[in-house]
Amino acid sequence: MNHLELSALIWVGSVVAGFVGSLTGLGGGVIIVPLLTLGLGVDIRYAVGASLVSVIATSSGAAIAYVREGYSNLRVGMLLEIATTLGATLGALLATHIPTAVIAIIFGVVLLSAVVPAGYERHVGEAADRPDALATRLRLDSTRPTRTGVQAYHVHAVPLGFGLMGVAGLLSGLLGIGSGAMKVMAMDFAMRLPFKVSTATSNFMIGVTAAASAGIYLNRGYIDPGLAMPTMLGVLVGSLAGARVMAGTATRVLRMVFSVVVLGLGVEMIVNGVTGRI
């Protein structure tokens, strides 16, 4: 396989990764890293470096569409980015001192931890959805578009969500996945944002999180332009397509796609990490 064919293969895989990542809020890294490491035999640190660049592209591509359509909660996203940025910087510093097999196993465990809560709908009664004092003070409550018109919602458990975002940022810097799975979980279940709002806000945030750690990977020499360029271009195309499809897709379908993708990739990464194939 020559360089042109390899670049084309990476681009096609990245389009799929960007589409799924945008549709579910995971970010393309959950597919890019396994694609490069398991499919093409790339060292996981270089795969993470390319993934971080692609995550920035995913966020830039999908976030524009989601903000325009009214799904992203910008105030929530900008608040939580403080935690994710700090965590991402720490994660990137730790990544160079941890064996690649251990990183692969952590990657898989993190993905599997997102499957169970994502597999079912969250039901919140009207009495339980009362305004939260801190969220009200920070003016985090907002509205979202629905088929029946604009609908208001409340944000809850801001300190818990902030803490979980710090962990999400740490995992992003360590694994290069944008940590969209944990971001969506934190906003959907802890902060009780609507699932589509969680997905859209996650896409808005992951670029800033990735940029915080990408500079460290670049400084350490783990970003290869030959890998990063086709990855970034493919993910950008896929993320724009995913953003358009998401608005008209039922939440139950989004959760199903989320769970299937995460389950398959999580198991494969753990197996390959344990057996020393990475």
Q: For the chain, give every domain's residue range.
A: 3-120+151-274
Outline where DSSP puts E strands in the chain: 142-146, 149-153
As a whole number of angstroms, the distance between CA 128 and CA 93 comes to 41
**What distance lies between CA 141 and its chain's CA centroid?**
23
**Cα–Cα distances in angstroms (integers) from residue 211 to residues 196, 217, 245, in the given order:** 24, 10, 26
Cα-Cα-Cα-Cα dihedral sign, residues 116, 121, 127, 131: positive
For the whole prediction, is pTM greater than 0.95?
A: no
216 φ, ψ (degrees, to nearest 5) = -70, -45
pLDDT at 230: 92
pLDDT at 125: 45
**Cα–Cα distances in angstroms (integers) from residue 104 to residues 2, 25, 34, 91, 276, in the given order:** 28, 21, 9, 14, 10
Task: Show the tokens assigned to 132.
Answer: 């939260």
49 Cβ contact list (under 8 Å, min separation 6): 176, 214, 217, 218, 222, 223, 224, 227, 228
As a whole number of angstroms, the distance between CA 87 and CA 172 comes to 8
Which stretches in the chain have pLDDT values below 70? 1, 24-29, 57-62, 114-129, 176-181, 246-247, 251, 255, 277-278
243 φ, ψ (degrees, to nearest 5) = -65, -35
**How big is the chain, counted in residues?**
278
Q: Which of 200, 205, 196 is nearest to 254 (CA)?
A: 196
Q: Which amino acid is at 85?
A: T
pLDDT at 159: 92
pLDDT at 19: 83
**Cα–Cα distances in angstroms (integers) from residue 257 to residues 46, 126, 155, 179, in the given order:** 27, 28, 25, 17
> Is 257:96 a contact under the CB 8 Å cutoff?
no
